[in-house]
Amino acid sequence: MQKALFVLLVFVFYGTVHAQPKWPAKPNLAKAKGYNQRVDLWKAFLYDVVDSAYSSTSGISMKDFIATARQGHDLLRQTDTATKAFFNYYMGAGFQAASKYDSAIVYLEKALWAYRKLKIYKEEIKVICVLHYAYYYAGQGQRRDTMMVYLRKMLPQIKDDYPLKTRMISTLSEYAYDHAEYEKAIAYKLQVIALTKEAQAKKKESIGPSDVAVAYHQIAETYLVIKQYEKALYYLKAAQPYLINNYHATANALLSTIAAYQGLNNEQDALLSFKELQKHVKGKEIAPFTLSAANRSFADYYLGKGKLDMAEKYALKALRYAANISGQEHKQNAVDAKMTLGFVLYRQGKYAQAVNYLGGVIASSYEFGRERYATGNQMLAESYAALGKHDQAFKHYQVYARLQDTLYRESSKKSIAEMDAKYNRQANAREIKLLNAENTTK
């Protein structure tokens, strides 16, 4: 599973950078009536900049986002600790979105300790739900562990704030997933679905259908990781009624559907889903990102079937599409596409070329998925061995063996199948049928 699917503060950048960024209207602080209004005007402006920075068409960069938050911080009185924490949070979030994790940690920790000192616990928790990712990417696992212990302790104290509670549970799910505790990850996501439906029943405006779709999709993705493809398809089907008018989520669901059919060796349905995906993203800014991932998926599929010419064809397409993506998504797609091409070259017996592709991206690949990182180390070990470089081969084989043991233990746990107890299959099937009928009649 691609880790981005679990991240709670999701920053998605597609398309190209525009020569003239489309800035929201900047407030005239000279006309503000006093300090509080100046601050409120700049907060509102920052919200607009944040929204624009996450847009695929604005051309506003993370650098612009961070600079706007910094300008807001510079407006503040020295004693305004709470508002300083607010702007520090956004500076940290901006640095994290730009993959500047050390800088993100500095500003997020400033916000964290300020909110904790002021006993504004809900804001403190929001910071934790972002900060723990910076710890993860910066390799500060022990500090992340401490944060998660605290988060679990705080969870029972959050009662009626559905967005915050679901965010906390989703964070704990991601943490469990990162530690290959897939049962726990799925159990947490089932709680998110239950809470989200409860919030919708109570007409909580801040919770919407997309929250349910994301949770179902993440469960499906977890089942894909542990190779339980029928269950993945089941939860992807459950997500469908909640994907209406959300073409990003629909594209992701189609990618996962392709992977599930490939896992079941159902080439025909996988290709049909691929055609549906191509039609769905045609002319949209997400096309390069999505089609790079889809072509890479087929490259991996044909590689597994021993059809090396087909695998090479799709791997090269994936690499070409990845070249048209900017930001963090470019890095992820380029890494994955090069790894797949490296796998193909290895199977073709072109060991030196395989080492060239795999060796250049293996360190970065850990960030985007343990399975491919493990397989990459395996291929590097065998390629180095074939080239007679046995010290390098042994180093990479040790990494592969350690990770593979963990992944195997989790995938072989039969108890994961029992997680459906709270969502009885027949009841869910009836619910899905009814929801589909409702959406058809609307």
Q: What is the pLDDT of residue 196?
A: 87
pLDDT in tens, 14-67: 333 333 557 778 888 988 899 999 999 999 999 988 887 766 555 677 888 899
Same CATH fold, 319-410 and 22-157?
yes
Joined tokens for residue 95: 């640095």
Q: What is the pLDDT of residue 13?
A: 30
* CA distances, 349 to each of 127, 223, 232 (Å): 49, 32, 34
* Long-range Cβ contact pairs of 23-28 (< 8 A, separation 24 or more): 23/49, 23/52, 23/58, 23/60, 24/48, 24/49, 24/51, 24/52
The amino acid at 170: S
Q: Which of 229, 213, 307 is nearest to 262 (CA)?
A: 229
Give the list of residues 6+ apart from residue 126 with CB closer than 8 angstroms, or none. 89, 164, 167
Under the banding of pLDDT at 50, 70 and 90, the label for residue 434 is low
282: left (phi over 0), alpha (psi -120 to 50) or beta: beta
Under the banding of pLDDT at 50, 70 and 90, the label for residue 11 is very low
Q: What is the pLDDT of residue 179?
A: 87
CATH entry, 319-410, from 1.25.40.10, 3.20.20.140, 3.40.30.10, 1.20.1070.10: 1.25.40.10
Under the banding of pLDDT at 50, 70 and 90, the label for residue 438 is very low
Give the list of residues 6+ apart from residue 407 with CB closer than 8 angstroms, or none. 180, 370, 371, 374
Q: Which of 206, 203, 205, 193 is nearest to 238 (CA)?
A: 193
- Quick one: DSSP state of residue 75? T
Query: Is the pLDDT at 439 greater than 60, yes or no?
Result: no
Which single residue is written with the structure tokens 């599973």?
Answer: 1
For the chain, the average pLDDT equals 84
Q: What is the pLDDT of residue 18?
A: 37
Q: Which of 100, 1, 51, 59 is nearest to 326 (CA)?
A: 59
The amino acid at 114: A
Within 10 angstroms of residue 205's Cβ, the number of other Cβ atoms is 7
pLDDT in tens, 342-381: 989 999 999 999 999 898 888 877 767 777 788 888 889 9
CATH code of domain 22-157 = 1.25.40.10
Distance CA 181, CA 174 (A): 10
Q: What is the pLDDT of residue 330?
A: 62
Mean pLDDT over 384-413 rounds to 79
Q: What is the pLDDT of residue 6?
A: 38
Quote the Cα angle for 126-129-132, to 5°. Answer: 135
Q: What is the pLDDT of residue 431?
A: 52
Which range is least confidently modeled, 39-53, 106-120, 378-392, 414-428? Answer: 414-428
Which range is least confidently modeled, 5-9, 36-40, 334-338? Answer: 5-9
Burial call 385-414: b when 16+ CB within 10 Å, e when fewer: beeeeeebbeebbebbeebbeebeebeeee
pLDDT greater at residue 357 or residue 11: 357
Max Cα–Cα distance, the chain, nearest Å: 75
- Contact between residue 293 and residue 324 where contact means Cβ atoms under 8 Å apart: no
Full-model pTM: 0.73
pLDDT in tens, 201-255: 877 656 667 778 888 999 999 999 889 999 999 999 999 988 877 888 899 999 9
pLDDT in tens, 167-188: 999 999 999 998 889 989 999 9
φ/ψ of 279, rounded to 5, equals -65, -40
Under the banding of pLDDT at 50, 70 and 90, the label for residue 264 is very high
Query: Is the pLDDT at 339 greater than 60, yes or no?
Result: yes
Q: What is the pLDDT of residue 202?
A: 78
User: Domain ranges in the chain?
Assistant: 22-157, 319-410
Q: What is the pLDDT of residue 205?
A: 58
- Quick one: DSSP state of residue 1? -
